[in-house]
Amino acid sequence: MSETTADTPIRKAILGSLVGTSLEWYDFFLYGSAAALVFNEVFFPTFDPLTGTLLSFLTFAIGFVARPIGGIVAGHYGDRFGRKKVLLFTVSLMGASTVLIGLIPSYATIGVTAPILLIVVRLAQGFALGGEWAGGALMIAERAPSARRGFLTSFVQVGVPIGTLVSTAVLYLMSGILSRDAFLQWGWRVPFLLSVVVVLIGVYIRRQVGESPAFEKAAPERAPILTLLKTQPVDVLRVVGIRAGADILYYLLVTFLLTYVTTRLGLPRGVGLLAALVGAGMQLFTYPAFAALSDRYGRRKVTVFGAVGAFAWMFAFFPLVDSKNTGLILLAVVGGLFFHSAMYGVQASWICELFDTRHRYSGASLGYQLSGIVGGSLAPTIAVALLRASDSTTLVVVYVCAALALVAGTALLTRETRGGELTGAGSATKVRSAS
């Protein structure tokens, strides 16, 4: 006999969202790491290394193009028929797409068909992720007590460093124990094929979670996305402004760094992967910590702290990395990810609180995924292009700092939602204190 929504404990909703989101981001970040490390040689071997990497990052960006489409579709069905059904679909599609990437023959085997297949499967991967994040966040936020919503909902964000840790660790292990030729021929495929196992775990756990109580109390609309665009279009843009710069910073610190330390500095692949691992391990704790602070001091203040801190840190980042000292490279990445945590850790609760229950899935998905296109999708590509154009990291720093200034400015112009209720219809507009 299935468990009713009222009987579903908050911890089960957290576990379902955390595990499912971890699996989704494992798949997505695995692709980003592989794009930085091997896809230039496997799928674009006729180009020089930097150009091949640029093309690999473009296929990485294509996944972001499909994310808003997936977000719109998932938001529509999630607002009309429930969060749970959509989340089961997204985790299944994501896992299947990732396994297929591991099965695509190389350019040497089937020629130009290989990168074409890669793009097609990458689009499916992006479509799945487009509906994943908002559903996972809503399943927690719409159950959590208002006084602890920031902290509890942040566990959907913790899925990001878990996914990064697992995907990077597997790649790090495979690249460490195999010769370069073996890694390029088949070793990089193993982490992708492992998704067939983890997706089954994700589906099983999510089937145990009941539907969101706030959704069951609200009256579903026939076209939630249209109502959203009529009533809260500015809030969608606010989400983009808050998120885009944080995404740009993250992909510079994690994805672009892998290319920079190997092709520019001539260091082993393991240096960048180790930095990503240590940073992700730290964020397992800093995401919830900053989210808990936002329950006390407000979403806005914590976000602005992160943006301003990251802005200042960017002026130390490349000098530390260019030292070629592994310890200083680790410090550069960990410092940047610390300030990133302040921005990203509070986003799940803040974004959910901005929208009315009847189109909350649509609003959270659309805003979150549009920011992915503006921010994370092209960040590694733009950073590589700026590096090539100027033969210097100065323009890269300017690019990231401009994005961080946008985060701080948008946060200051976005209403504080801490302490509002999310039951039934309506957004969290009644705040305990704006201070």
Render pLDDT for 390-419 as a digit per residue (tens, 0 to 9): 888 999 999 999 999 999 999 999 999 998
Helix runs in 208-268, H state only: 213-217, 224-231, 233-251, 257-259
Confidence category of residue 433, pLDDT binned at 50, 70, 90: very low
Per-residue pLDDT of 197-219, as tens digits, reads 877 877 887 887 777 777 777 77
Of 82 and 64, more confident: 82
The pLDDT value recorded for residue 1 is 37
- Phi/psi region, residue 424 (left: phi>0; alpha: psi -120 to 50; beta: rest), is left
Question: What proportions of the chain, in percent to the nearest 5, are helix, strand and coil?
Answer: 80, 0, 20
pTM of the model: 0.82
The pLDDT value recorded for residue 33 is 75
Amino acid at 288: P
Residues 6+ apart with CB under 8 A from 255: 32, 33, 35, 36, 57, 60, 379, 380
Confidence category of residue 5, pLDDT binned at 50, 70, 90: very low
Overall average pLDDT of the 47-69 stretch = 77
User: Which CATH code of 3.40.50.2300, 1.20.1250.20, 3.50.50.60, 1.10.3720.10 fits the domain covering 7-412?
Assistant: 1.20.1250.20
Question: How far is the C-alpha of 237 from the C-alpha of 428, rounded, in Å?
Answer: 18
Surface-to-core class of residue 426, CB atoms within 10 Å of its CB (0-12 exposed, 13-18 middle, 19+ buried):
middle
Mean pLDDT, rounded, of the chain? 86
The pLDDT value recorded for residue 9 is 66
Query: How does DSSP assign 52-84, residue by residue?
Result: HHHHHHHHHHHHHHHHHHHHHHHHHHHHHH-HH
Query: How does DSSP assign 98-141, residue by residue?
Result: HHHHHHPPPHHHHTTHHHHHHHHHHHHHHHHHHHHHHHHHHHHH
The domain segmentation of the chain, as residue ranges, is 7-412
Overall average pLDDT of the 77-96 stretch = 87
Whether 143 and 153 have beta carbons less than 8 Å apart is answered as no
The pLDDT value recorded for residue 271 is 87
pLDDT of residue 428 exceeding 80, the answer is no
Instruction: Kindly list the distances between the CA atom of residue 12 and the CA atoms of 79, 106, 197, 288, in Å, as whole numbers in the listed order.
Output: 21, 42, 21, 17
Amino acid at 213: P
Helix (H, G, I), strand (E, B) or coil at 434: coil
